Structure 1
Amino acid sequence: MWRAIASNFLTVAIVMLAAVAAAIAWGKNQYSGLGPLTEAICFKVERGATMRGVAQSLKEEGAIRSDYIFRVGADYEGKAGDLKAGSFLIGPGESMAGIVGAITKSGQSTCGTEVNYRIGVNDAEMLMRELDPATNRYAEVAKFDPAAEAAPQTYVDRLEDPDLRFRVTLAEGVTSWQVVEALKRADFLDGEPGEVPPEGTLAPDSYEVTKGVARAEILNQMSTRQEQVLAELWPGRSDDLPYSTPEEALIMASIVEKETGVPEERPLVASVFVNRLREGMKLQTDPTVIYGLTKGQGVLGRGLRQSELRGRTPWNTYVIDGLPPTPIANPGRESIAAALNPESSDFLFFVADGTGGHVFAQTLAEHNENVARWRAIEAEQEAEQEAGQ
């Protein structure tokens, strides 16, 4: 009798274990398998939201089949407490695991309506755009320069939308004065920016911000990020550089930034200036002369005069030896990397080639020939412009 009872108990236990194993396997499959969405949606996670509330909302929107499995899976992965506020694009058939990853990873919104304040060298542009989840494409809502025109009504009407996201994007080569002046005109920011940060210390990048954040706080973020970039790249620098401090490397990086708009040219342009420093030659770069005239407060808007090339300022590298005393703009990561690891070359000169890039030379004679070709291209371009008027 006891043997029969034990045998039956064992049979029941095995069946129960098998059922549990099957249930777990089914749950895992539900968690990682294709979800029920047939079209993409933009799902918002509010600040202070809980995983339970998010799971319920996702089920109501038809993005998941089971809020319970969603919560258990998030907890099993150790992500239940990692919710990030924001708006997230959830694609058709996205699994629960994929959704959990999206809403717990970086916190950077991937959909919804966004205001991107883009600060460039020549102007600043406020761009409001909205992502269509179905096409995964942004549609422009409004665009204007706050320094030159009033905000369009479509922008004003939607500025109070609680779901609106904000971003400040800083272009490479912008001066610190330009950044501060542009931030003063951003109507979604608050507070005075304070003193203009030292030139070169703001990292060109895109910064997601909260409406009403202090302008000084954004500048602090930019400064911190540039410090991080320098700290990361400085230990891997070339051994034989003619400058010995991160500050001097930042000066060189800013010159490289202003001399070429072609990314792949940066290490070669840096090599020219490094070679000149090694040879004891003056750098003779126009952007430094321009900075000496403007102090970074705006764009010169014309060509340099011969008297200006001969005029003495601390930044006129046609007159002074070595590097100028400060950077002449805020260089991006790639220009800093080029200044720290310039290409190996024998070039001492370069001039524009008419295509947006430059042609390089080892000797002055070669350089003069290249300059003559460039002058001919300039004359031809001017003639074409006059003919078209």
Structure 2
Amino acid sequence: MKRLALLAAGLVLAALIALYFLWWGAGPKPGPHTIIVKEGASVASVARDLEKEGAIPGSTRTYRVMARLFGSHDPIQAGEFEIPKGMGGASILDLLQHGQPLQRLITVTEGMPAIVVAEKLAANKYLAGSLPEIVEGSLLPDSYSYQRGETRGAVVARMQAAMNRTIAELWPKRTPDCPVATPEQAVTMASIVEKETGKASERPMIAGVYCNRLRIGMKLDADPTVIYPVTKGKPLGRRILKSELNADNGYNTYKRPGLPVGPIANPGKASIAAVLHPAKTKALYFVADGTGGHVFADTLAEHNANVAKWYALRRQRGQM
């Protein structure tokens, strides 16, 4: 009996040693792969998924035993995790408990129109569900994280909630220097500012010019508002046609004074802030200066002189 007891103890010890080395050894999976862990998942449920993937040594039951004997008892995190090639059972459990879930991002750049955002969301193979209608100007440009399998509608809702929070933060702090009567008008004006300059430092000045024009009933004459009905905010890729400049479609600010009927892009926080806190200026005009920025003028005579310089520069560059 004593010999049998010793033999049994030896077998148990040998089994524990074998499990220990199996637990800490390299994993059987030949390449990196991902696993999605749902909220509230247990070691047992995750182990079943890992076994199906061939990512853990032994069976689900064996892995559960090893985890109970040698692993931490901390909860498993929800999210998507990338398991590197050859990662063993111990390291996999530690990754799921304490590692960083895989972060997937979709970026809406400042001035990106709704049609382009919709195309990005529709083409994303990791998102699910149908694409809801996206109202122009309703999304805040930023980088948004999402989980694999999340619905497109949920991502759009987060983008819209971010814009709503931004407006709620900025609108009460506005100055009276720009005659926009509602947050919606501020977003519309900001979308024009966004499309008119690529220089962040110019936004308050561009906003100041348009606010001055709006105040005195002068037409905004903003090229991006002519382009929007033609391309829905995508680049035009050619010069604006005379027929497009004469089109009366609710957006064309060459045709009528005041703001267009709605935004022409999704403006960023800085452009919205520029409209609500425009530069204090008497300028009513601006034209490109050849460096990516603009030169501003208070009078039409000054503006015409600046335009002549710009045309001369373009002819010198072979652009006219």
Q: The residue matched to 1:334 in structure 2 has which SS?
A: helix
Provide the C-alpha distance between the structure 2 equivalents of 1:165 and 1:238, rounded to a whole number of angstroms: 39
User: Corresponding residue for 2:226?
Assistant: 289
Against the structure 1 CA distance between its residues 86 and 210, is the aligned structure 2 distance closer, same or farther, given a 3 Å change threshold? Answer: closer
Matching residue within 177, 192, 207 for 2:115: 177
> Normalized against structure 2, the TM-score is what?
0.69
Deviations 1:159-186 (A, max 9, x none): xxxx643111110111112211221111
Matching residue within 128, 148, 152 for 1:190: 128
User: Corresponding residue for 1:321?
Assistant: 257
Q: The residue matched to 1:382 in structure 2 has which SS?
A: coil
Q: CA deviation at 1:330?
A: 0.2
Q: CA deviation at 1:199?
A: 0.8
Say if 2:177 and 2:211, in contact at 8 Å, map to a contact too. Answer: no
Provide the C-alpha distance between the structure 2 equivalents of 1:294 and 1:198, rounded to a whole number of angstroms: 16
Provide the C-alpha distance between the structure 1 equivalents of 2:178 and 2:196, rounded to a whole number of angstroms: 19
Q: Which has the higher contact order (CA 8 A, sep 6+)?
A: 2
Give the alignment of 1:296-307 within 5 angstroms. Answer: 296=233, 298-307=234-243
Give the alignment of 1:234-249 within 5 angstroms. Answer: 234-249=171-186
Provide the C-alpha distance between the structure 1 equivalents of 2:172 and 2:225, rounded to a whole number of angstroms: 27
Matching residue within 189, 202, 207 for 2:144: 207
Give the alignment of 1:340-355 within 5 angstroms. Answer: 340-355=276-291
Paired letter, 2:128: D
Q: The residue matched to 1:179 in structure 2 has which SS?
A: helix
Q: CA deviation at 1:345?
A: 0.3
Provide the C-alpha distance between the structure 2 equivalents of 1:277 and 1:304, rounded to a whole number of angstroms: 23
Q: Does 1:280 align with 2:217?
A: yes
Provide the C-alpha distance between the structure 2 equivalents of 1:293 and 1:282, rounded to a whole number of angstroms: 20
Provide the C-alpha distance between the structure 2 equivalents of 1:208 and 1:173, rounded to a whole number of angstroms: 20
Against the structure 1 CA distance between its residues 307 and 247, is the aligned structure 2 distance closer, same or farther, given a 3 Å change threshold? Answer: same
Structure ranking higher in strand proportion: 1
Q: CA deviation at 1:281?
A: 0.5
Q: The residue matched to 2:106 in structure 1 has which SS?
A: strand
Identity, % of aligned pairs? 49
Paired letter, 2:110: E
Q: How many equivalent pairs are there?
A: 241
Provide the C-alpha distance between the structure 2 equivalents of 1:85 and 1:168, rounded to a whole number of angstroms: 17
Q: CA deviation at 1:307?
A: 2.5
Any runs of at least 4 consecutive aligned residues in structure 1 with deviations exceeding 4 A, and if so which?
Answer: 46-50, 83-87
> Normalized against structure 1, the TM-score is what?
0.57
Q: CA deviation at 1:306?
A: 2.2
Structure 2 unaligned segments of length 5 or more: list them: 1-36, 43-71, 82-96
Q: CA deviation at 1:311?
A: 2.1
Against the structure 1 CA distance between its residues 191 and 84, is the aligned structure 2 distance closer, same or farther, given a 3 Å change threshold? Answer: closer
Give the alignment of 1:50-69 within 5 angstroms. Answer: none
User: Corresponding residue for 1:261?
Assistant: 198
Paired letter, 2:115: W
Paired letter, 2:310: W
When the two chains are superposed, the root-mean-square deviation of aligned CA atoms in Å is 2.9
Give the alignment of 1:145-164 within 5 angstroms. Answer: 164=102
User: Corresponding residue for 1:372?
Assistant: 308
Q: CA deviation at 1:378?
A: 1.4
Give the alignment of 1:332-343 within 5 angstroms. Answer: 332-343=268-279
Structure 1 unaligned segments of length 5 or more: list them: 1-45, 51-70, 72-79, 88-102, 110-162
Q: The residue matched to 2:317 in structure 1 has which SS?
A: helix
